[in-house]
Chain A
Amino acid sequence: MARALLDDVIDVYEARSEPRTEALPPTTARSPARPAGLRTSFWVGWLFVAPALLFYGLFVLRPLLYTFWYSLYRWDGIGPSTWVGLQNYSKVFTDPDLLKTIVHAFELIAFFSAIPVLLGLALASTIRQIATSRLALAARTVVFLPQVIPLVAAGIAWSWMLSSTGVVNQVLSHIGLDGITRAWLGDFSTALPAVGVIGAWVLLGLCTLLLLAGISKIDPALYEAARLDGAGPFREFVHITMPSLRQEIGVCVTVTVIAALASFDIVYISSQGGPGNATMVPGLEIYYQAFSERQVGVASALAVVLMVLVLACVLPIQWLTRDRDR
């Protein structure tokens, strides 16, 4: 059963292969410009796509265009609107409170991304040797739990743990670090890191498993050879493990960066952006601006900026870590 589970995970990679190039069937005369595909009418193909395109267009593309449109006006959602051009955008970049939300989003990347990826790498490469043991299989289920529960639930559980009478302070007191106990989510300097810790907890399991699956694909003979040459675990890691994991690391970083930049659930439930503005993130600020302050234009401008930022972060990562063997 152990092997089967591992095989499942390895299958993941086999499936991720390139589309096969088609050989032209000799019996059909085709114009060379015709794309390689089944001989079906143009319209039948589009009919098949139509429902998906309809939903996507109506509930994603249309609102997307409207977001751009709203961002050029000043509107409260109820009454008439006034054209303000790019004023909302300049507000996003000059208003210190709004600008800070973007800064916070990037700071969260350090927690949501760096910790799960780095720690995940360390854990995965250490656990590699016992990857098929029963303990590892049990761990696979347990470590996945944070991905299965709603982020809100994680936020509630951790808010309680990080409070002044919560588990975190209890543990700190037990190991003698009584002096630094505090209400982690209520303190200006520690609130954002505290939110970051929640995110790291949610994403660590996913990254570890993903990287572990990637490592399992590496030919053990390479490790054997390295051992015979006298390499220790560290050199093994740098010269064998890391290079082969480029794709998986890319995925981890992409998923976690998007989670950090677009974070909403966790912050909403744990700190509501406070204390003061210490944990306000763009996702939450958009919600407040649009539905509480009724500044739909500013909210939309911030939303556009957020989307651009996500693309600006994700595209380079994808490019850097794409499969070079293609």
Chain B
Amino acid sequence: MIVARREIWTARTLLVLLMAITVLPFVSLFTTALHQSGTYPLGLDWPSEPHWGNFADAFRAAHMGELLKSSLLIVAGVVPASLLIATMAGFAIGHLRMTGSRLLFLVFVIGLTLPFEGVVTPLYYQVRELGLLNTRWAIILPLIGLFMPFSVFWMRAHFVNMPDELSEAARVDGANTWQLFWRIHVPLATPAISSLAILLFLWTWNQFLLAIVLVDDPTKRTMAGALGAFQGQWGTDIPLLCAGSLLILTPTLVVFLIFQRRFVSALLQGSLKG
């Protein structure tokens, strides 16, 4: 490639600038978290005596252990179930293509641009009638439903590329549809499924609206919802709030850093397909 030296340097500077702007809020949270509880530090300001204890205080005040457990439980409820039923549906619509599947697909696609606020009000009364308000099921069950449009779309996009000959051959060998699905197609779909798993994990963990509308108890919400409650309770104590926010951020950050490659490709694919 013919490239001018100057262009490389502009590119490098811009990239560094972009990274700096991205990281700035995190740094600001961190330095503020180290100040004495109850004070209002001036911008980015490393305190003369860092109060590392603020993190411990925030950990206790936010009941972080329980929050982690709650979020994990919710993720465990949402992600496996969603993956299973979306894969089944995607298989049916994308590969089996029975009569009416195109219409059905359209029905799912309608939900792709649906903002959650559009359904949260009736959802509240519906969940109330089911007696599930203030439980984790109040978040798990609606989320599975709300994730279906994207998940079915995603899995269908994978199954549409599976050759019919593969399944014909299996049928000739005597496999019924379920065996065809479970033994042959699911293993082949693993990359698509794992990318979807990452996306659903992220979206569940960061779910806020459903958590604050349907669940009052912060220890039964998602991490993001619990952060909202934490801000409600301690929001007037800025250093503590910053410490708590950082703690609540940490699990997603850690998971992200470990699985970065998969994350980035999954998120990019997700936007393109969605």
State if A and B touch, Cβ cutoff 8 Å. Answer: yes
Q: Which A residues are within 8 Å of any B CB, using their own CB?
A: 5, 8-9, 11-13, 15-17, 19-20, 22, 25, 35-42, 44-46, 48-49, 51-53, 55-64, 66-67, 70, 77, 123, 126-130, 135-136, 138-154, 156-158, 160-161, 165-167, 169-171, 201, 204-206, 208-210, 213, 220, 223-224, 227-228, 233, 247-248, 251-252, 255, 258, 261-262, 264-265, 268-269, 282-283, 286-287, 290-291, 296, 299-300, 303-304, 306-307, 310-311, 314
Taking CB atoms, residues of chain A closer than 8 Å to B218 are none
> Nearest Cβ in chain A — how far from B194, in angstroms?
13
Q: Which residues of B (97-123) have their CB < 8 Å from a CB of A?
A: 97-102, 104, 107-108, 111, 113-123
Within 8 Å by CB of B29, from A49, A123, A160, lies: A160
A136–B18 alpha-carbon span in the complex (Å)? 11
- How many B residues, CB 8 Å from partner? 115
Taking a contact as CB atoms under 8 Å apart, the answer to whether A126 and B224 are in contact is: no
Which residue of chain A has the shortest Cβ distance to B24 in the bound complex?
A167
Taking a contact as CB atoms under 8 Å apart, the answer to whether B97 and A15 are in contact is: no
Taking CB atoms, residues of chain B closer than 8 Å to A59 are 119, 123, 126, 141-142, 144-146
Taking a contact as CB atoms under 8 Å apart, the answer to whether B98 and A303 are in contact is: no
Taking CB atoms, residues of chain A closer than 8 Å to B209 are 264-265, 283, 287
A120–B157 alpha-carbon span in the complex (Å)? 27
Taking a contact as CB atoms under 8 Å apart, the answer to whether A165 and B121 are in contact is: no
Taking a contact as CB atoms under 8 Å apart, the answer to whether A303 and B1 are in contact is: no
Taking CB atoms, residues of chain B closer than 8 Å to A204 are 18, 22
A210–B223 alpha-carbon span in the complex (Å)? 27
Q: A12-B265, A40-B96, A160-B242 in contact; A152/B253 too (CB < 8 A)?
A: no
A227–B101 alpha-carbon span in the complex (Å)? 50
A224–B2 alpha-carbon span in the complex (Å)? 7
Q: A139-B15, A291-B213 in contact; A153/B224 too (CB < 8 A)?
A: yes
A287–B214 alpha-carbon span in the complex (Å)? 12
Taking CB atoms, residues of chain B closer than 8 Å to A44 are 96, 98, 177
Q: A153-B245, A167-B44 in contact; A51/B85 too (CB < 8 A)?
A: yes
